[in-house]
């Protein structure tokens, strides 16, 4: 999609544009399906936008701060991890090693959130990894 500079839009078109481009969307947001106890897990994703129901990469996705929360057996209510910042193309990644748990298998869920701003709404996405704590 070609994004014209705001100065190149008529006032009516600029007003419509604000409402057309109003939602962040998680393009690809993935991690490994499984991991072993003590193994570092890398999560990757891409912050994009939807405009009129179509997914686009966005010139606004660069440099956005994203909050990361990990939910695991030791922290069922979540624990905040360091924030991540999107790259120029809206991509992001982070690596985490979940804490040990006294069980054979458990689920670790990573939630990434964008707080929103005056023009774009907030968005949250998540992905889960099955961790084999017994080493199998």
In a domain, 17, yes or no: no
- Closest Cα partner for 37 from 132, 106, 121, 111? 132
Q: pLDDT per residue over 12-47, tens digit each? A: 333 333 334 445 556 667 889 999 988 999 999 887
In a domain, 45, yes or no: yes
**Which pLDDT does position 58 carry in this prediction?**
64
Question: Domain holding 121: CATH number?
Answer: 2.60.40.730
In a domain, 49, yes or no: yes
In a domain, 53, yes or no: yes
Domain that holds residue 57: 22-132
Q: How many domains does the chain have?
A: 1
* Alpha-carbon gap, residue 14 to 83, rounded angstroms: 32
In a domain, 9, yes or no: no
Q: Per the structure block, which two tokens stand in for 62?
A: 């660069």
Phi, psi of 62 (to 5 degrees): -70, 135
Average pLDDT over the chain, rounded to whole? Answer: 77
Helix or strand run (H / E) with residue 29:
strand 21-30
In a domain, 120, yes or no: yes
- Closest Cα partner for 103 from 73, 71, 77, 65? 73
* pLDDT band, residue 96 (cuts 50/70/90): very high
Q: Per the structure block, which two tokens stand in for 31?
A: 């991690």
pTM of the predicted structure, to 2 decimals: 0.76
In a domain, 127, yes or no: yes
In a domain, 14, yes or no: no
């Amino acid at each position: 999609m070609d994004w014209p500079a705001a100065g190149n839009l008529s006032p009516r078109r600029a007003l419509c544009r604000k409402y057309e481009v109003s939602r962040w969307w998680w393009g690809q947001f993935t991690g490994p399906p499984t991991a072993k106890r003590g193994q570092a897990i890398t999560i990757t994703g891409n912050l994009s936008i939807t405009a009129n129901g179509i997914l686009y990469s966005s010139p606004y996705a660069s440099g956005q701060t994203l909050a990361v929360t990990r939910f695991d057996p030791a922290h069922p209510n979540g624990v905040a991890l360091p924030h991540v910042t999107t790259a120029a193309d809206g991509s992001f990644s982070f690596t985490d090693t979940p804490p040990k748990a006294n069980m054979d298998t458990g689920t670790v869920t990573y939630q990434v959130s964008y707080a929103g701003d005056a023009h774009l709404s907030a968005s949250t996405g998540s992905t889960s990894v099955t961790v084999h704590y017994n080493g199998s």
